[in-house]
């Protein structure tokens, strides 16, 4: 199995963060049909769980590679 590169992890983190934000906006809007709300909330929970797992993985990488930006720097600075 090929090890994930730092860039792949960073891209995955940023993509999951964006997708979770979009899903959260959708779930909080009035656009979600009542019969789909539970499914959409589950999708959001899955996205947030995946994001947190990548955050934990990335933090481990940061300990091993001090040149990587911190998770706060990565998420709070525009690319």
Q: What is the average pLDDT across 6-22?
A: 95
**What is the dihedral sign for C-alpha 17, 21, 27, 31?**
negative
Do residues 61 and 55 lie in contact, with contact meaning Cβ atoms separated by under 8 Å? no
pLDDT for res 73? 92
Binned at pLDDT 50, 70 and 90, residue 79 comes out as low
Position 78 pLDDT exceeds 70: no
Place 4 in a pLDDT band, splitting at 50, 70 and 90. Answer: confident
* Structure-token match 């990335």, residue found: 58
- Spatial neighbors of 46 by CB under 8 A, at least 6 apart, are none
Residues 6+ apart with CB under 8 A from 44: 20, 23, 24, 27
Going by C-alpha positions, the residue among 16, 6, 5 that lies closest to residue 52 is: 16
Residue-range domain boundaries for the chain: 6-76
């Amino acid at each position: 199995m090929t090890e994930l590169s730092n860039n792949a992890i960073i891209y995955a983190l940023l993509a999951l963060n964006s997708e979770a934000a979009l899903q959260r906006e959708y779930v909080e809007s009035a656009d979600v049909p009542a019969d789909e709300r539970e499914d959409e909330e589950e999708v959001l929970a899955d996205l947030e769980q995946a994001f947190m797992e990548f955050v934990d993985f990335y933090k481990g990488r940061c300990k091993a590679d001090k040149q990587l930006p911190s998770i706060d720097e990565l998420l709070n600075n525009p690319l």
